[in-house]
Amino acid sequence: MANHKSALKRIRSSETKRLQNRYQTKTTRTHIKRLRNTTDKKEAEVLLKTVSSMLDKLAKRNIIHKNNAANSKSKLTKFVNHL
């Protein structure tokens, strides 16, 4: 176990960040599933906009890699265009 005050604080803060990142990632994945299950093009376009912004935010905060976000957005856009 850590002995220094700063190390203890680092443990606390990293756990908080881990939970926050996990929540945001899970929420984004849920929205992606909702988008994939939709059949209405209008609804899909609205969802695509929100999902794209969520993916961009995750990439900006280094929660996911920027190429992962770009590939996901590309696949989802293709999916919506073929509806």
Q: What is the pTM of this model?
A: 0.85
Domain extents in the chain: 41-83
User: Mean pLDDT of all residues in the chain?
Assistant: 95
As a whole number, mean pLDDT of residues 16-39 equals 96
pLDDT above 90: residue 63: yes
pLDDT above 70: residue 1: no
Q: What is the token pair recorded at 67?
A: 């190429």
As a whole number, mean pLDDT of residues 57-74 equals 96
pLDDT above 80: residue 14: yes
Residues 6+ apart with CB under 8 A from 64: 25, 55, 58
